Amino acid sequence: MPSPFLHATSGRPSEHYCSLCKTNFKTKFPRPKQGLLKEWESAVGEAKAALLKEWDEHLQAAHPRQWERERKKRARRRAQMEQIISKGEGTINDA
Ligand SMILES: [Zn+2]
């Protein structure tokens, strides 16, 4: 069974849909406005969060088996992170 993934069109602003069932997501990304870079960046951040939420909800509703797999994958990733942190290894270096 193929895994669904979030697909973006190349249009501007791009539209996002599910690769498996072609459901189109409602979240629209804002067009950049001249001189309003900061506002645009925060609007894009909000759109991204909204889109990911929509995607999660879509997986749960339309592809429960894949959602289950995705959930396990995320849990594993988080467990690995916690292990690294608790061992005091993997110091994040911002430089
Ligand atoms: Zn789908």
Average pLDDT over residues 68-88: 90
Does 15 fall in a domain?
yes
For the stretch 2-61, pLDDT in tens is 788 898 888 777 789 999 999 999 998 888 878 889 999 999 999 999 999 999 999 999
**Total Cβ atoms within 10 A of residue 29:** 19
Does 81 fall in a domain?
yes
Q: By residue range, what is the domain housing residue 14?
A: 6-87
Does 1 fall in a domain?
no
Q: Is the pLDDT of residue 65 over 90?
A: yes
Does 83 fall in a domain?
yes
Identify residues whose C-beta is under 5 A from ligand 1, the ion.
4, 18, 20-21, 23, 62
Does 25 fall in a domain?
yes
Does 27 fall in a domain?
yes
**Total Cβ atoms within 10 A of residue 12:** 9
Please give the model's pTM, rounded to 2 decimal places: 0.74
Q: How many domains does the chain have?
A: 1
CA 13 to ligand 1 center in whole angstroms:
21
Does 31 fall in a domain?
yes
CA 8 to ligand 1 center in whole angstroms:
13
CA–CA distances in Å: residue 8 to residues 14, 16, 22? 6, 4, 11
Q: Is the pLDDT of residue 95 over 70?
A: no
Measure the CA–CA gap between 87 and 85, rounded to whole angstroms.
5
Does 94 fall in a domain?
no
